[in-house]
Amino acid sequence: MHIQDTNVILIVDDIPTNLEVLSEALIDAGFEVAVATSGESALKQVEYDLPTLILLDVMMPGIGGFETCRQLKANPKTKDIPIIFMTALSDSVDKVKGLSLGAVDYITKPFQQAEVLARVQVHVQLRNIGVALEKQNIHLKQEIEQRIAAEAALQQLTQDLEQRVAARTEELSQALHTLQNAQVQLVQSEKLATLGQLVAGIAHEINNPVNFIYANIHHANKYIHDLLVLIQLYLERYPHPADDIEKTIKDVDLEFLIEDLPKLLSSMEMGAARISEIVKSFRNFSRHDEADIKIVDLHEGIDNTLKILEHRLKKKVDAPAIRLLKKYGNLPMVECCAGKMNQVFMNIISNAIDALEEASSNGERLIEPTILIHTDVEAEYVVIRIIDNGLGIPQDVQQRLFDPFFTTKPAGKGTGLGLSISYQIVKEQHGGSLLCISNPGKGAEFVIKIPIKHLSQSEQVLSLARQ
Ligand SMILES: Nc1ncnc2c1ncn2[C@@H]1O[C@H](COP(=O)(O)OP(=O)(O)OP(=O)(O)O)[C@@H](O)[C@H]1O
Ligand SMILES: [Mg+2]
């Protein structure tokens, strides 16, 4: 579709006078004029030259004006050309019919020249504006389509990019996770090995001398008893010894000595017995330092751990003693790795002690610092709760508690590995669970759940699926 430079008006009329009159008027007004004397010839003409507007007579021999109009409107090429009917002044039926067939207007015969020109001019103008608008519309549509296509391409590109970034991020975080895990494992085995070696070393070194003392105290006791009997006998037989003996008896306060020495010996014996008990728990603690799953009394593990931590529970210059409450249930023997479980107890009880020490160093607490250890059986699990009445754990810290290297302790004090290692031991190595319950200000509770019968990795997955 194009706007012609000159506007061509096609006049279709079978009466030559009409053609002549109209042509003259239109040419004078600056239009170009084409003529056809029948509907058929008009249809043929528009095929090769599209006019801007058609003036169409209603009454013509042959197919007539209405039929010509219908055919023009039915043809996509010509349907938009405005048609003005020419009809007799009186014939209002024709006017209505013409408009209903798609004509834009009508003019009446006999022609009023000024009216014809005015109507033609208006419709030519409208037509030209219509054509220009349509052209602009097409242009706009093309532009919109181009933009939509560009936008889609951009979106696709963004999506691709996002996917690639997401995939890469996933890869990297996977790698980081693996790395951290490896590091935790390394530190774990190192920590465990070091602690185990240290404890085993100390136990070994102390064990022998303590045994001498313990074994010899018995003999010493007997010898001293014999000596005392002897002295007693001397005193009875020689109630008046020489002056220097008399003097020495007074100087050493023999009476008190005879009375105190057995007490002293028995307290030495108790002390030695206690040392050998501690050494035994040291050896127990480290003896299990193997990855093997054994049948274990977990209470023994907890008690051994407590023995090692005993000094930390005692009263300090700047902190009160920590009260230890044990509420042990009737636990069966558990299939687990004792050394590793001891390490879990060690980590969690140490944390509780740290928390209580921190609380008392803050000086804001009045209640007695206490650690409660509660054990029980729940279905196929043993449940160990380690509860302290320290400052508790804020919500944001709770979320990161089990993250490797997360610590709130000053540099050099905590590595932030205690809980992440414990989590790994309980969850991954034993198929149990470790969780923390804490309301800030109200202390913390750590709940360790361990299956009584050790499950293989695949059994662990199945049991998780069942839960
Ligand atoms: N009973 C508790 N009360 C209050 N906070 C706790 C308690 N147990 C753990 N936390 C918090 O959890 C953090 C992480 O504990 P985790 O045992 O993993 O590391 P750590 O004690 O800081 O260092 P590490 O045990 O390696 O020496 C601690 O720094 C502390 O903030
Ligand atoms: Mg810790």
Give residue 418 CA to ligand 2 midpoint distance, Å. 4
Quick one: pLDDT band at residue 291, thresholds 50, 70, 90? low
Closest Cα to atom 10 of ligand 1: 351
Among the ranges given (96-100, 134-138, 297-301, 455-459), the one the predictor scored with the smallest mean pLDDT: 455-459
Question: For position 454, what pLDDT does the model report?
Answer: 87
For residues 130-146, average pLDDT: 93
- The single-letter DSSP state of residue 405 is T
For residues 231-255, average pLDDT: 91
Out of 184, 187, 351, mutate this one to test ligand 1's pocket (max ligand atoms within 8 Å of CB): namely 351
Strands 370-378, 323-327: pairing is parallel
Question: For position 456, what pLDDT does the model report?
Answer: 72
Out of 183, 188, 346, 409, mutate this one to test ligand 1's pocket (max ligand atoms within 8 Å of CB): namely 409
The answer to whether residue 280 scores a pLDDT higher than 80 is: no
- What is the sign, positive or negative, of the torsion defined by CA atoms of 169, 174, 175, 177? positive
Of 58, 55, 15, 18, nearest to 34 (Cα)?
55
Give residue 330 CA to ligand 1 midpoint distance, Å. 29
Give residue 456 CA to ligand 2 midpoint distance, Å. 28
Give residue 305 CA to ligand 2 midpoint distance, Å. 14
What span, in angstroms and rounded, lies between the C-alpha atoms of 397 and 414? Answer: 15
Q: Bridge-partner residues for 327, per DSSP?
A: 374
Closest Cα to atom 14 of ligand 1: 407
* Higher local confidence (pLDDT), 193 or 393: 393
- Extents of the domains making up the chain: 8-111, 293-467
Give residue 464 CA to ligand 2 midpoint distance, Å. 28
pLDDT tens digit sequence for 196-224:
677 777 877 888 888 888 888 889 989 99
Question: For position 448, what pLDDT does the model report?
Answer: 98
Among the ranges given (146-155, 280-289, 365-374, 452-461), the one the predictor scored with the smallest mean pLDDT: 280-289
Quick one: pLDDT band at residue 2, thresholds 50, 70, 90? very low
Closest Cα to atom 1 of ligand 1: 352
For residues 4-8, average pLDDT: 76
The CATH class that applies to domain 8-111 reads alpha beta
The CATH code of domain 293-467 reads 3.30.565.10
What span, in angstroms and rounded, lies between the C-alpha atoms of 107 and 26? Answer: 14
% of the chain at pLDDT higher than 90 = 54
pLDDT tens digit sequence for 355-393:
999 888 876 655 789 999 999 999 999 999 999 999 899
Give residue 312 CA to ligand 2 midpoint distance, Å. 14
Predicted TM-score of the model (pTM):
0.53
Give residue 417 CA to ligand 2 midpoint distance, Å. 7
Angle between helices 113-237 and 16-28 (to 10 degrees): 60
Ligand (nearest to CA of 394): 1
Q: Are 107 and 116 in contact (CB under 8 A)?
A: yes
Structure tokens of 30?
């600056």
Pocket of ligand 1 (CB under 6 A): 347, 351-352, 355, 388, 390, 393, 397, 401, 406-409, 414-420, 444
The answer to whether residue 4 scores a pLDDT higher than 70 is: no
What span, in angstroms and rounded, lies between the C-alpha atoms of 437 and 445? Answer: 5
Give residue 222 CA to ligand 1 midpoint distance, Å. 52
Q: Are 265 and 213 in contact (CB under 8 A)?
A: no
Structure tokens of 6?
């000159």
Task: Please state the φ and ψ torsions of residue 30, each to the nearest 5 degrees.
Answer: 100, 5
Ligand (nearest to CA of 396): 1
Ligand (nearest to CA of 350): 2
Question: For position 364, what pLDDT does the model report?
Answer: 61
Closest Cα to atom 25 of ligand 1: 418
Question: For position 439, what pLDDT does the model report?
Answer: 86
Closest Cα to atom 27 of ligand 1: 414
pLDDT tens digit sequence for 431-465:
999 999 998 888 999 999 999 998 776 666 666 66
Structure tokens of 94?
């024709």
What span, in angstroms and rounded, lies between the C-alpha atoms of 128 and 8? Answer: 12
Among the ranges given (186-195, 261-270, 281-290), the one the predictor scored with the smallest mean pLDDT: 281-290
Question: For position 3, what pLDDT does the model report?
Answer: 43
- The single-letter DSSP state of residue 196 is H
Q: Are 265 and 225 in contact (CB under 8 A)?
A: no
Closest Cα to atom 31 of ligand 1: 408
Out of 353, 356, 419, 439, mutate this one to test ligand 1's pocket (max ligand atoms within 8 Å of CB): namely 419
Give residue 446 CA to ligand 1 midpoint distance, Å. 11
Vertex 122: Cα angle to 118 and 128 (nearest 5): 145
Give residues with Cβ within 8 angstroms of 377, minimum separation 6: 329, 330, 331, 332, 383, 452
* Higher local confidence (pLDDT), 342 or 185: 342
Scan for tokens 């998780």, then name that residue.
464
Start-to-end C-alpha separation, the chain: 75
Of 267, 152, 283, nearest to 221 (Cα)?
267
What span, in angstroms and rounded, lies between the C-alpha atoms of 227 and 230? Answer: 5
Question: For position 82, what pLDDT does the model report?
Answer: 94
CA-only gyration radius of the chain, Å: 55
Pick the atom of ligand 1 nearest to 420's CA: 18
Question: For position 287, what pLDDT does the model report?
Answer: 52
Give residue 129 CA to ligand 2 midpoint distance, Å. 84
What span, in angstroms and rounded, lies between the C-alpha atoms of 218 and 272? Answer: 11
Strands 294-296, 334-336: pairing is antiparallel
Number of other residues whose CB lies within 10 A of the CB of residue 292: 9
What span, in angstroms and rounded, lies between the C-alpha atoms of 8 and 33? Answer: 5
Closest Cα to atom 9 of ligand 1: 351
